[in-house]
Amino acid sequence: MRAVVEAMKQTIGKAGLGRGTKALLELNQMGGFDCPSCAWPDPDHHRSVAEFCENGAKAVASEAMKHTIGRDFFAKHSVAELMGQTDAWHDLQGRLGEPMLLTEGASHYEPVSWDEAFAMIAEELHGLASPNEAIFYTSGRASNEAAFLYQLFVRAYGTNNLPDCSNMCHESSGLALKEAIGVGKGTVTLDDFLEAETIICVGQNPGTNHPRMLSTQELAVKKGAKLVAINPLKEAGLLSFMQPQHLTGLLGRGTALASTYLQVKVNGDMALFRGIAKSLIAAGNTDKDFIRRHASNYEEYRRSVEETSWDEIEALSGIDRLEIESLALSISSGSNKLITCWAMGLTQHRNAVATIREIANVHLLLGAVGKPGAGLCPVRGHSNVQGDRTVGIFEKMPESFLAALERQAGVPIPRAHGFDTVASILAMKEGRGKVFFALGGNFAQATPDTAFTAEALRRCRLTCHVSTKLNRSHLIHGRRALILPCLGRSERDEGPLGPRFVTTENSMGVVQSSQGKLSPASEDLLSETEIVARLAEVTLGDRGAVRWRWLAEDYDRIRNWIEAVVPGFDRYNDRVREHGGFYLPNAAKERRWNTENGMANFSAASIDAFEVKPGRYLLQTLRSHDQFNTTVYGLDDRYRGISGMRDIIFLNPEDLNVLGVKPGQRVDVTSHWEDGERHLNGFRAIPYEMPRGLAAAYFPEANVLVPVGHVAKGSNTPASKSIEVSITPSRG
């Protein structure tokens, strides 16, 4: 009930009754627009009138604000003054209404025309010694069309420096799954959930971050599936769920969800899944036929499992052998219809790739990939982060894509790999990256090591952001800085040939259309695609087969290009107009393995976990209920019982005693890494139900503690869920 009330309050409060209600009625409807919040799919068949969650409503409310900020606002507030305000305050100021420029040495942003802005970027890009000195970031809200045109521009200009938010998010999943099953994406659909016998939800907090996933889980549980939660924290959303779309849900007691809740140690998941594998192998409960026909490296894996002792498994995971064995027995007692879902609790660790490989190992043992009711399900964050990757936002796209792009565009496409997010920060810091351009996102706040990254950005000659809302990345700037305001997902995108729609790909590989319906917040806004096309035209001019403006006039033309370059988009323009869109092909779903050896691969790595020195704590950074990444909507975290504050650190109650601090008392937190220490002082210690020795604080505030060099092996994802910290009571 609170979720329903909050959703209405936020939308009507921020966007107004008419605009707010209209926005919600179009949200996730066929023919409407795709929710700009998370990437959980919409039902293929029946959609309810309110096919959204509280947090989707908050995201839409924040975007649908009618109030705009432009020359008057920026004349009134200097950059220094805006730096002193909170992220929540920034978001409340309204939509960015006109292009703004911060000239060298100036204290205030001033208005600039679109033409002048594009000319300035082109001038800076032409002034570089090499295209590889420019960096082009993407956040996961950009549509397929904007993203495709953008990467084409960047590559035609001459670089693969295309870092994205995915580098900090599911990169570890993509890499692990590609090696294991040949596709870096999940293998299940919503229908599979209704057939599953067991659903494991590990390292994820769906109640806050993917609330509509709870409806799916509730249905699955009612159909008899067992839900297993694996999380160091007791997360309310995993325990029970009340379906707000049914009256019984509003008034009743809710469906009990997780039947098993394992409070694993942070980073203990690899050991835990190894324990499951050990039990399955010991009991002979494996799908021998599947392993023989489809999998490679089984013998080596089996030996590695046998060599792993139960002592080690229990010590690293913090879970008893008996519990692990009984879980293994339960998931293998029917037809092995297991789905495992995960998110940042697994991907943002030093051994993230190995951990996700271990989950894949368990699925391969059970033959639980590529059959109804079973599969792997990395739950994506940003609404189009998966689509952006599909259409080329990646610093190391495969040769097949680059060659196809070159053929289609008739311009040379560079092959050398570009910078990912962490490499970009280092390059800017060392003066090798000089122009920073961002299509969405909030790089300065989302990235690790806030002070280090700020210095890196400040060394640039130009920083430029295509954005909908004011954020801190506009304030931590290079010698010159530009803010280019764009249309949001919910807004009408009027082109010279009529209204345009874009397309996005959700977490389950469904490509669908998204058509904004609200009137744009300001007349001065351009669509992201339009911005990219005009910038490309000014910088490069039409060349080869590329006519930038012509492509952007009618997005069908861009979609035809995507179809020509990316496999799986056949009849893109027709199929995306059919109700609900279409599924991209996914070979692993059909048990075809696009790996180097053509088989699904076991990984025989030995287990490990990130360990801290005695007396220190293992800190994870996580999301509250009132934020979308760096956008802070409010100061509450309802499901964890927190209201009105974000400057907090969760600890086990006994650890509070050991530290000699009372609930709410301030503590100083220092993180330790090989390159030195970082500090965050005066945070309030809050007791929470979690294992001893762990700590949790909110992202992005706690990013000051995340060392830039502490990354996941292989994927280079900042290990923002395992930070070694010491904690002392604040003095004074």
Ligand X SMILES: Nc1nc2c(c(=O)[nH]1)N[C@H]1C(S)=C(S)[C@@H](COP(=O)(O)OP(=O)(O)OC[C@H]3O[C@@H](n4cnc5c(=O)[nH]c(N)nc54)[C@H](O)[C@@H]3O)O[C@H]1N2
Q: Is 630 in the site for ligand X (CB under 6 A)?
A: yes
Which residues 140-169 are close enough to bind Mo ion by CB under 5 A?
169
Q: State the minimum distance, in angstroms, from the CB of residue 536 to ligand X.
A: 16
Q: State the minimum distance, in angstroms, from the CB of residue 198 to ligand X.
A: 16
Among 151, 159, 189, 267, binds ligand X (CB under 6 A): 267
Nearest to 339 by CA among 294, 370, 313: 370
**DSSP code string of 570-581:** TTHHHHTTSTT-
Alpha-carbon distance values, 583 to 212, 341, 511, 540, 587 (Å) = 20, 19, 6, 35, 12
Q: 267 contacts which partner out of ligand X, Mo ion, none, CB within 5 to 8 A by kind?
A: ligand X
Alpha-carbon distance values, 397 to 130, 158, 401 (Å) = 20, 14, 7
Q: State the minimum distance, in angstroms, from the CB of residue 412 to ligand X.
A: 28
Whether omega before 700 lies within 30 degrees of 0, making that bond cis, reads: yes
Integer-rounded Cα radius of gyration of the chain: 25
Closest residue to ligand X, based on beta-carbon distance: 381
| Beta carbons of 113 and 98 less than 8 angstroms apart | no
Among 460, 642, 721, 725, binds ligand X (CB under 6 A): 721
Q: State the minimum distance, in angstroms, from the CB of residue 284 to ligand X.
A: 28
Q: Is 169 in the site for ligand X (CB under 6 A)?
A: yes
Q: State the minimum distance, in angstroms, from the CB of residue 333 to ligand X.
A: 23
Q: State the minimum distance, in angstroms, from the CB of residue 655 to ligand X.
A: 16
Among 629, 652, 715, 716, binds ligand X (CB under 6 A): 629
Q: Burial letters for 477-506: b for 16+ Cβ neighbours within 10 Å, e otherwise?
A: bbbbbbbbbbbbbbbbbeeeeeebbbbbbb
Q: 278 contacts which partner out of Mo ion, ligand X, none, CB within 5 to 8 A by kind?
A: none
CA–CA dist 317, 278 (Å, integer): 14
Our CB check for ligand X shows the closer of 154 and 439 to be 439
CA–CA dist 125, 655 (Å, integer): 53
Q: How far is CA 150 from the centre of its chain?
A: 20
Nearest to 721 by CA among 669, 713, 702, 729: 702
Among 14, 661, 699, 710, binds ligand X (CB under 6 A): 699
CB atoms under 10 Å from CB of 218, counted, come to 21
Q: State the minimum distance, in angstroms, from the CB of residue 490 to ligand X.
A: 9
Nearest to 204 by CA among 326, 332, 344: 344
Q: State the minimum distance, in angstroms, from the CB of residue 595 to ligand X.
A: 26
* Tokens, residue 161: 């420096």
Among 41, 373, 378, 488, binds ligand X (CB under 6 A): 488
116: Cβ contacts below 8 Å, ≥ 6 apart: 101
Among 269, 325, 358, 537, binds ligand X (CB under 6 A): 269
- Applying CB under 6 A, the span of 161-169, 302-310, 388-396, 563-571 interacting with ligand X comes to 161-169
DSSP 644: S
Q: How far is CA 600 from the centre of its chain?
A: 26
Which residues 413-442 are close enough to bind ligand X by CB under 6 A?
439-442
| Beta carbons of 699 and 623 less than 8 angstroms apart | yes
Q: Is 440 in the site for Mo ion (CB under 5 A)?
A: no
CA–CA dist 344, 266 (Å, integer): 12
Q: State the minimum distance, in angstroms, from the CB of residue 165 to Mo ion.
A: 6
Q: Is 173 in the site for ligand X (CB under 6 A)?
A: no
Nearest to 117 by CA among 548, 543, 538: 538
Number of residues that bind ligand X (CB under 6 A): 62
386: Cβ contacts below 8 Å, ≥ 6 apart: 39, 140, 185, 380, 505, 506, 507, 509
Q: Is 490 in the site for ligand X (CB under 6 A)?
A: no
Q: Is 331 in the site for ligand X (CB under 6 A)?
A: no
Build a one-symbol-per-residue string for 191-220: x at contacts with ligand X by CB under 6 A, - elsewhere: -----------xxxx--xxx----------
| Beta carbons of 186 and 376 less than 8 angstroms apart | yes
Build a one-symbol-per-residue string for 60-99: x at contacts with ligand X by CB under 6 A, - elsewhere: ----------------------------------------
Q: 161 contacts which partner out of Mo ion, ligand X, none, CB within 5 to 8 A by kind?
A: none
CA–CA dist 486, 468 (Å, integer): 6
Q: 393 contacts which partner out of Mo ion, ligand X, none, CB within 5 to 8 A by kind?
A: none
Q: Is 387 in the site for Mo ion (CB under 5 A)?
A: no
Q: Is 340 in the site for ligand X (CB under 6 A)?
A: no
Build a one-symbol-per-residue string for 218-247: x at contacts with ligand X by CB under 6 A, - elsewhere: ------------xxxx-x------------
Q: State the SS3 of 248-309.
A: HHHHCCCEECEEEEECCCCCCHHHHHHHHHHHHHHHCCCCHHHHHHHEECHHHHHHHHHHCC
Q: Is 693 in the site for ligand X (CB under 6 A)?
A: no
Give the H/E segment covering residue 697.
strand 694-698
CA atoms 264, 269, 270, 272: torsion sign:
positive
Q: 371 contacts which partner out of Mo ion, ligand X, none, CB within 5 to 8 A by kind?
A: none
Q: State the minimum distance, in angstroms, from the CB of residue 272 to ligand X.
A: 8
Q: State the minimum distance, in angstroms, from the CB of residue 574 to ligand X.
A: 26
Build a one-symbol-per-residue string for 17-46: x at contacts with ligand X by CB under 6 A, - elsewhere: -------------------xxx--------
CA–CA dist 446, 163 (Å, integer): 13
Which residues 639-658 are close enough to bind ligand X by CB under 6 A?
none
Among 187, 631, 652, 716, binds ligand X (CB under 6 A): 631
Q: 719 contacts which partner out of Mo ion, ligand X, none, CB within 5 to 8 A by kind?
A: none
Query: Quick one: 430 exposed, middle or buried, by C-beta within 10 A (0-12, 13-18, 19+)?
Result: exposed
State which amino acid sits at residue 157.
Y
Q: 478 contacts which partner out of Mo ion, ligand X, none, CB within 5 to 8 A by kind?
A: none
Among 174, 381, 387, 485, binds Mo ion (CB under 5 A): 381
Among 77, 185, 357, 382, binds ligand X (CB under 6 A): 382
State the residues that interact with ligand X by CB under 6 A.
Answer: 36-38, 55, 139-141, 165, 168-169, 202-205, 208-210, 230-233, 235, 264, 266-267, 269, 343-345, 348, 381-382, 439-443, 446, 466-469, 471, 486, 488-489, 528, 620-623, 627-631, 699, 702-703, 706, 720-721
State the residues that interact with Mo ion by CB under 5 A.
Answer: 169, 381
